Structure 1
Amino acid sequence: MKGVLRLTFLIMGVINCSLSKGAESWDLLVKKADSLSTSNFSKSVAFCDSILPFTNPKEPWRGVFTSIRGKAHYFKGNYDLAAKDYNEAIQLLQRGNFQRELGFAFIDQAKLYRKIKMFPQAIETYAKADKIFRTLKDENTLATVLNEWGVVYEFQNDFDKAIDFYSQSLKTRIKFNDSLGMAYSYSYMASAYLQKNDFKQAEELSILSLQIFEKIKNQFGVAIQSSDIALMYESKKDFNKAISYLTLSDSIARSFNYKDLLSENYRRLSTIYAQLNDYKKALKLYQEHIIIKDSLYNSNTQKNIADLYVKYETAEKDNQLLQQENKNAKQQITILLIGSLLAIVSILTYYIYRSRKLKEEKLKLETQNTLQNDRLRISRDLHDNIGANLTYINNAVQSIPQEDNQIKNLQSLLNETIIELRRTVWLINKPSVKLDEWIVKLREYYLKVNEVKLSITIIENEESILTSKQATNLFRVIQEATNNAIKHSQASSVKVSIQSENNILMIVIKDNGRGFDQNKAS
């Protein structure tokens, strides 16, 4: 704890000096915090936490340090805290219209989305960063965006598109003689070629990337690239080289407690030793992988407890008690206000719900009345106009001598049409039909059709209701099926079985027709 306090007082002194020297000193603090975010994550978080209280929301620094703190949380494996910091930083920078700083925050946020496999969100966020740095004509940072963006397509197995992004980035790195950028571009390209099983190209680019990282003494890059090279040798079953590079990566990652990389390295080492039949070592490494992996999910809780401990341990007892009393009083007031607010919201919600329900019921009733009036109007028109005309035509045909077969067929057709019209008017005129009424109509229809026999079993109450639409459609289905059977299958007997039980209506239609070969039917 003394170390934390010493760091806090030191930073406060630096900030006080910085305030008098202007933006140049703030830039130095940003570089320091950003450097720590990839080498000493906990120290970077403490550094940012100490600076943030002295920043002005109207200046870019608060958003920048919040974003850097998010990056440190990201490398610690605290993804929820990283997401929270990135969102806060982006809101601060957008309000202040700090475009360059906003672009860097988008890059880091997109990397988090990529890490947790939210690929559409990652692509969308990289596009925002790309737009900002194109507007600013910042080619160097654009190259970073292209590298990061390409990884998303690599994860989605679009390796050619990923390599295209990496190549564009590499051209810019070479143009500006950016050694660090070239190292990352070579690393990304090697990974994509490895996925394409081009081991020769992958090995050349991987070694080149590692040599540059070592030359510029970038330990973070060495750790990442060593792990990637090991993956290539794992694919080639060259386990000795894979173990050598993973061990190098592990030693560096352990020095700055990069848990995510450590966990992944142990998992892969465990798999390698299992393939070498060294199951004891494989088990031990896998257990270490699980321990670190679990800690990634527990570290957030541990940090909250540690922060509370430091906060209350360093405060004076009397002041602590006073603060606790004030806190309790505020909590009671807050609870009371929240309770009152919830009550008001509940009442308003119920009122709105009730009003909407009444309106819906009223509208439903009006709609039903309109539909019923339309049904009555249509049924009257059918009965009074078309029905009267058909009756007149039928009477006229009846007066013609029935010696001609065509006249007989015409009379029969007219009778059937009049019966069908009456049935249709009956269905239209009723918004709903009882099951027993519908069956009566069905029996009447098939009285004159000798080939069709009805078998009806109703186990439940015959008062079951069908809507007018259901009654019409079911009637038409049975009518069409029996007509087709008689007409096309040359059936002499068609049996229609209707069963009603447990609110389920089952209709089975069978005939003794000639049938057909399903395999030859077109």
Structure 2
Amino acid sequence: MFQLRFKGLMKNAVRNKFLKWLLVFLLLNIYVPAFSQTKAERKIDSLLKVLPLVADTQKIGIMLRLASLTSKSNQEKGTEWALKALTLARKHKNETQMNSAYYKIAMYSKTSGNFEMALKYADSSLFLTKKDKDEKGIAQVYNCYGTIYVEMENYPEAIKYYIESVKIKEKLNEQEGLANTYLNLSSVYNRINLLDKSKEYLLKGLQLFEENKNYYGMAGARNTLGVLYNREQNFKKAIEVFNEALKISDSVSDKNLESALTGNLSESYFGLNNFKKAEEYGLLSYNLRKELGDLSGIAYSASELSSVYLKMKNFEKAISYANECLAYSEKSDYAEGRYIGHKNLAEANEALGNYKEAYAFLKLSIEDYETFKLVESQHAIAEVEGKYQLTKKETEIQLGKERMKSKDTEIKKQNQLKIFFGIGAVLFALAAIFILRSYFVKKKSNKIILKRNAEVEMAKAIIEEKQKEILDSIYYARRIQRTLFANEKYIERNWIRLKQGKV
């Protein structure tokens, strides 16, 4: 009796538990999709509802916003919205919004691998930006050119445009844009194996992103730093940096960045022979790239997963992902992907005892290897050319600095000479003024002296004339006196005579 009751209770409990979990499952299926929408998706939905209700001029701005939002998950959709915005902007002759559309189409076309279209729209954007004399905009378009040429593996041109962008941004003190271009330069130096230079620019960019609290930039910079650690086979440090970047990337909700980070983490764990973790992150990256429609990214993720499953001896999955790798490598012209796909198919079929198929795939992998090596050789040539152009550019910059320094020294000397001659001229002028003043003073004094001398001479002449007249008068009086009065001696002599009776 007790056993029957116990069994009945157990059946009810199991039934109730099953009903409980079934209810939870149904509720999750009903409500979770609504909550699982990202902030970007909710924003897209709200913009799509508003779009039919507004005038054409407002539609352009909404379409450009939709282009930015949709491009984060689907580049082709982003391009479609940008082209629609461009059509309306042209209709209303709104050059500012036309320029914005040109720039977006150039960037999205580059990501989709349509480089001819990317360069065409970048040219249109640059034309309008230069027309407006918008230096910040010109720097942004130069940066766009750099990213296009990187994808085209024309590293010398990429370096040229990045450096032009940096010059303008440094002049304008445009820190966030400057940080992005530093990161782009770091990426180019990484590709041409100048790892120290790459790390130098990377850390410059990271510092600016952190100062400006730019979380997208902080995550992107850490992703690039992790790639450098992977290349140095410092996988533990790479994993640490990638995980930091993933935490930061949660706040920006960018699937492109997330797909790159998870793919790089898969590579790091593969390097440490942790194939379970490599599979986990490889699948995350693969699924994200599928959502994005990133053809070369899908091919790369499929090649990684195929290699992981070979190591795990899961040959069926290794073959499946190798075939997918080949399909997407053909679509994106990914030479290394074709080589890895055929090589992995050969190894998997050999392990399964399918020697005929293994031999056929091995032959194809050898052919692919030759093509891949040719591409690698072209990459090596581009790398050497990039290093040469970099050295040339740095030499030009150094020579420019030296010329500027020499010019500054020359200008300084000229300024010193000008100052010297200026002081000399002033002193000469002062001396001339002093001499002339002395001359005129002396001349004036001489005139006064001559005048006074003349006056003295005249006075002297007058005095002498007066004196002569006085003397003449005296002499004349004396002559009269002498005439009228007898001489004293004569009187005395006659007096004596009279006394003596001689008279």
TM-score (norm 2): 0.52
Q: Distance in 1 between matches of 2:211 and 2:219?
A: 14
Decide which structure has the larger Cα Rg and report it: 2
- The reply to whether residue 42 of structure 1 matches residue 72 of structure 2 is no
Conserved 8 A contact 1:60-1:96: no
Aligned length: 286
2:298 maps to 1:259: no
Match of 1:55 among 79, 89, 94: 89
Aligned to 1:116: 152
Within 1, Cα distance between the matches of 2:48 and 2:134? Answer: 28
Give, in whole Å, the separation in 2 of the partners of 1:126 and 1:99: 14
User: 1:146 — aligned with what?
Assistant: 182
Tell me if the contact between 2:260 and 2:285 (Cα under 8 Å) persists in the aligned partners.
Answer: yes
Task: Output aligned runs, 1:78-477, within 5 Å.
Answer: 78-296=114-332
What is the CA–CA distance in structure 2 between the aligned matches of 1:186 and 1:284, rounded to whole Å? 33
Q: CA deviation at 1:285?
A: 1.2
The change in CA–CA distance for 1:122 and 1:128 in structure 2 (over 3 A counts) is same
1:14-25 alignment, distance < 5 Å: 14=54, 16-18=56-58
For residues 116-171 of structure 1, what are the alpha-carbon distances to aligned partners after superposition, in whole Å with 9 as ceiling and x for unaligned?
Answer: 22111111111122122223221011111111110000111111111111111111
Q: Distance in 2 between matches of 1:13 and 1:242?
A: 49
AA matched with 1:32: L
Q: For 2:333 and 2:227, how far apart are their aligned partners in 1?
A: 28
Q: Distance in 2 between matches of 1:42 and 1:229?
A: 27
Structure 1's 79 and 63: CA in aligned 2 closer, same or farther, altered over 3 A?
same
The share of aligned pairs that are identical, in percent, is 19
| Secondary structure of the corresponding residue to residue 157 of structure 1 | coil
Distance in 2, Cα, partners of 1:102 & 1:246: 39
Distance 2:48 2:123 in 1: 26
1:12 Cα offset (Å): 7.6
Letter in 1 for 2:67: A
Residue 489 of structure 2 is matched in structure 1 by none
Q: Which moved more, 1:29-38 or 1:145-154?
A: 29-38
Measured in 2, the distance between the counterparts of 1:193 and 1:293 equals 26
Cα distance between partner residues in 1 of 2:137 and 2:71: 16
1:38–1:78 CA distance, 2 compared to 1 (3 A): farther
For 1:216 and 1:87, how far apart are their aligned partners in 2? 30
Please report the RMSD computed on the Cα atoms of aligned residues, expressed in angstroms.
Answer: 2.7
Shift of 1:101: 2.7
Kindly state the Cα deviation for residue 197 of structure 1 after the two structures are TM-superposed.
Answer: 2.4
Q: What is the distance in 1 between the residues matched to 2:307 and 2:152?
A: 23
Contact 1:8 1:50 in 2 (8 A): no
Q: In the TM superposition, what is the alpha-carbon distance from 1:260 to its structure 2 partner?
A: 2.4
Instruction: Identify which range, 111-120 or 205-214, moves more after superposition.
Output: 111-120
Distance 1:285 1:51 in 2: 39
Q: Name the CA shift for 1:78/1:294 in 2 (closer, same or farther; >3 Å).
A: farther
Aligned AA (2:166): D
Shift, 1:53, TM fit: 2.2
Give 1:15 shift. 5.6
User: Which residue does the alignment assign to 2:400?
Assistant: none
- Return the letter of the residue paired with 2:278: A
Partners of 1:263 and 1:194 lie apart in 2 by 20
Task: Using the TM superposition, give the Cα deviation of residue 187 of structure 1 relative to its aligned residue in structure 2, in angstroms.
Answer: 1.0
Tell whether the 8 Å contact from 1:60 to 1:98 is kept in structure 2 after alignment. no
8 Å CA contact retained: 2:229, 2:235: yes
Q: Which gives a bigger RCO, structure 1 or 2 (Cα 8 Å, sep 6+)? A: 2
Superposed CA offset, 1:68-87 (max 9, x none):
11222223333332233223
More strand by share: 1
Distance 1:113 1:290 in 2: 26
Mark the runs of 5 or more structure 2 residues left unpaired by the alignment: 1-46, 335-503
TM-score by length of 1: 0.51
Distance 1:98 1:243, change over 3 A: same
Return closer, same or farther for 1:248/1:173 CA change in 2, 3 Å cut-off.
same
